[in-house]
């Protein structure tokens, strides 16, 4: 992602925009950070963060990270997600996902994404595998 562009402009018509996910500036350290509000778009009927929204946040972080490191002429798509949900977050808060690249291969990238509450409690820990395709 061009660091000069706002992610709302880049992602406004995608799941990222619809869920209110906002990427923080990332360096070249293989770490991607993003926030997501816990609101009517991301909660379950009981007023808590939906586990599916956590998975969406994690996949968006890993996808964004992989897109930054793919060679020109290639792109990455998610092929596997595994998650453990540890604690709940009520509506009105914001969660932060921190994605760390743990493997960068020619045909796959593996990311670990930890999602944290505002009070720094671990909410979910997610592992994502992205397959890298060459554009033909």
* Other CB atoms within 10 Å distance of the CB of residue 67: 15
Closest by CA to 97, choosing from 44, 47, 38, 43, is 38
Q: Is 133 helix (H, G, I), strand (E, B) or coil?
A: strand
Residue of 16, 32, 54, 59 marked active site: 59
Q: What is the token pair recorded at 130? A: 């992205």
Identify whether 59 is a catalytic site residue: yes
Q: What is the token pair recorded at 19? A: 């869920």
Q: In which element (H, E) is residue 17 found?
A: helix 15-18
Catalytic residue set:
59
């Amino acid at each position: 992602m061009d660091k000069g562009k706002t992610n709302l402009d880049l992602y406004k018509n995608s799941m990222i925009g619809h869920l209110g996910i906002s990427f923080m500036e990332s360096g070249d350290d293989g770490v991607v950070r993003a926030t997501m509000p816990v609101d009517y778009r991301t909660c379950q009927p009981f007023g808590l963060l939906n586990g599916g929204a956590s998975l969406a946040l994690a996949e968006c972080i890993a996808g964004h990270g992989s897109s930054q490191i793919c060679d020109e002429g290639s792109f990455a798509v998610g092929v596997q997600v595994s998650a453990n949900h540890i604690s709940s977050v009520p509506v009105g808060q914001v969660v932060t996902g921190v994605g760390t690249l743990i493997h960068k291969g020619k045909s796959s990238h593996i990311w670990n994404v930890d999602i944290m509450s505002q009070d720094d409690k671990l909410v979910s820990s997610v592992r994502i595998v992205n397959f890298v395709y060459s554009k033909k």
